[in-house]
Amino acid sequence: MVPSVQSLGNVSQGNLLTCEQKQIQWWVEHFCEILNRPDRKNFPDIAPASDDVDVSTIPATQKEIIRLLKSLKSKNYPDKPRACS
């Protein structure tokens, strides 16, 4: 979560930024620096997944959600999620 410009006293090189305009400028410079980096030269070699995973996209029922929340509160975790049954 990023605090709002008004509520944040930014510290830039040890100086407290009290003027809203200076805070906005600090954020502009910050994000320009972060977003305008040069492209990576070495990308990680990520192999494709070996298996397709069968994931249920059917929304959970209210009864299932209540049962899961009760089991999480009592630390009795269900053996298998619904997608694996």
What pLDDT score does 36 carry? Answer: 85
Is the CB of residue 10 less than 8 Å from the CB of residue 17? yes
Structure tokens at 74: 């009592």
What pLDDT score does 66 carry? Answer: 92
Per residue of the chain (85 residues), what is the pLDDT tens digit?
444 444 444 454 566 767 888 888 888 888 988 888 887 788 888 888 888 888 888 999 999 999 888 888 887 665 555 544 4
Please state whether the predicted TM-score (pTM) of the whole model is above 0.75: no
Query: H/E element holding 67?
Result: helix 62-73
Burial of residue 10 (CB within 10 Å: 0-12, 13-18, 19+) is middle
Measured between alpha carbons, how far is 57 from 66 in angstroms, rounded to an integer?
18
Count of all residues that appear for the chain in the document: 85
